[in-house]
Amino acid sequence: MELVVFVIASAMVLVGALGVVVRSNPVHAALSLVLTLFGIAVHFVAMEAHFLAAVQIIVYAGAIVVLFLFVIMLLGVDKSEDLSIEPFPIQRPLAVVIGASLAALVIAAAVRASDRLPEGTPLEADGDSNIELLAQNLFSDYVFAFEFTSVLLIVAVAGTVMLTRKEKKGGDS
Amino acid sequence: MLLAAVEPTATWYLVLAALVFAIGSVGLMVRRNPLVMFMCIELMLNAVNLTFVALATRFGNIDGQTAVFFVMVVAAAEVVVGLGIIISVLRRRPGATADDLAELKG
């Protein structure tokens, strides 16, 4: 059963990832990204990370992709671009070679290390215990970093407002 | 049934994450539309999230899931700022590609 879930979710992830890269229409690329994000959420559920699966759906699929689609519609760039134009002829083969060697390198490292990974005691996974464990960890060991993310979000919001505000006529911005 | 007894191990997830990361990096190198390049960065971040959760499960240590939480927060902030920059560039010059961003130099 777990094997079936893994295979289906992995197919979703890989098809979506390839779709982001090869689709010429940005809207289709964004929808392929949703497919990938849902597949990864399924993997999170399969690994008992229930809270992260929910956050993945809400934050990524619900907020980030919607933001992408909103910007695509706002700017009116929802037309297919011509992918056959290639300013640097060497770029695509080189990128594929670099990507394939990157994948080969990381996969080789993961497979080599597979029998040397230390096996820990499994995390409790009944009911809400995943959220409880995560909350205890987040609000004890990482509470400073957690508070600091609020500063990060404020800075991001203020910076975006400054960046995208239209300048008033007359120059007094 | 023999096949049903096979359970995916952490290595399977690491291999999948490596593939997604490589696809995202190829997309980042190939595509010229800044919005699609941004989506490829999201792909790479998600691949890393997958490795974090896989190893957190394997080691029985919740720290990996906490790291994923922070990655998501930073990704959200990064998308907001990045899309703001893209909006202000594309508003000034519709149809700009990544090559045109060199004009941001003063």
Average pLDDT over residues A33-48: 93
Confidence of residue A173 (pLDDT cuts 50, 70, 90): very low
Residues B3-56: pLDDT tens digits?
A: 666 778 888 899 999 999 999 999 999 888 888 999 999 999 999 999 999 999
pLDDT digits (tens, 9 = 90+) for A57-73: 999 888 899 999 998 88
Q: Cβ A3–B7 below 8 Å, yes or no?
A: yes
DSSP letter (8 states) at residue A25: S
Q: What percent of chain A has pLDDT over 90?
A: 51
The answer to whether residue B4 is domain-embedded is no
Residue B64 confidence (pLDDT) above 80: yes
- Crossing angle for the helix pair B34-59 and B63-92, to the nearest 10 degrees: 180
Helices (H), chain B: 10-30, 34-59, 63-92
Q: What is the mean pLDDT of residues A164-172?
A: 65
Q: What is the mean pLDDT of residues A126-135?
A: 82
Decide if pLDDT at A30 tops 90: yes
Residue B75 falls inside a structural domain: yes
Task: Using alpha carbons, list the distances in angstroms from residue A73 to A78, A127, B48, B58, B88.
Answer: 6, 41, 29, 42, 15
C-alpha torsion B94→B98→B103→B106, nearest 10:
120
Scanning B7-26 for CB atoms below 8 A from A yields 7-16, 18-26
Looking at the domain A1-80, which fold is it? Four Helix Bundle (Hemerythrin (Met), subunit A) (1.20.120)
Of A21, A130, A159, Cβ closest to residue B23: A21
> B41 at the A interface (CB within 8 A)?
no
Q: What is the mean pLDDT of residues A141-170?
A: 87
Q: What does the block give as tokens for A60?
A: 């990524």
- Spell out the domain ranges in chain A: 1-80, 128-166
Helix (H) or strand (E) holding A132: helix A129-138
Residue A15 confidence (pLDDT) above 80: yes
Nearest CA in chain A to B25: A99
Of residues A139 and A165, more confidently modeled? A139
Mean pLDDT of A48-52: 89
CATH number at residue B16: 1.10.287.3510
Name the residue range of residue B79's domain.
Answer: 10-99
Binned at pLDDT 50, 70 and 90, residue A80 comes out as: confident
Residue B7 has phi, psi (to 5 degrees) of -110, 135
Report the residue from B35, B60, B76 with minimal CB separation from A121: B60
Rounded distance between C-alpha atoms, residue B91 and residue A141, angstroms: 44
ipTM confidence: 0.89
User: How big is the CA angle at A109 (ends A103 and A110), to the nearest 5 degrees?
Assistant: 85
How many domains does chain B fold into? 1
| Mean pLDDT, residues A33-41 | 94
CB contact under 8 A, B13 and A29: no
B65 and chain A: CB distance < 8 Å anywhere? yes
CA distances from A24 to A34, A38, A86, A107, B27 (A): 16, 22, 13, 29, 12
Mutate to test the interface with B, among A12, A31, A35, A43 (most CBs of B within 10 A): A43
- Is position B3 within any domain? no
CA distance A9 to A3: 10
Q: Given an 8 Å threshold on Cβ–Cβ distance, is B31 in contact with A21?
A: yes
Q: Is A169 helix (H, G, I), strand (E, B) or coil?
A: coil
**Contact status, residue A9 vs residue A42, Cβ threshold 8 Å:** yes
- Among the partner-chain residues A49, A63, A157, the one whose CB lies closest to the CB of B65 is A49
Q: A171 vs chain B: nearest CA distance in angstroms?
A: 17
pLDDT digits (tens, 9 = 90+) for A86-111: 777 888 889 999 999 999 999 999 98
Q: Report the candidate in B22, B48, B14, B99 with the shortest Cα–Cα distance to residue A98.
A: B22
Average pLDDT, chain A: 87
Please state which of the ranges A33-37, A49-53, A86-90, B53-57 shows the lowest mean pLDDT: A86-90
* pLDDT tops 90 at residue A83: no
Per-residue confidence (pLDDT) for residue A152, from 0 to 100: 93
pLDDT at A170 over 90: no
Name the 3-class secondary structure at A141.
coil
Q: Three-state secondary structure along A100-112? A: HHHHHHHHHHHHH
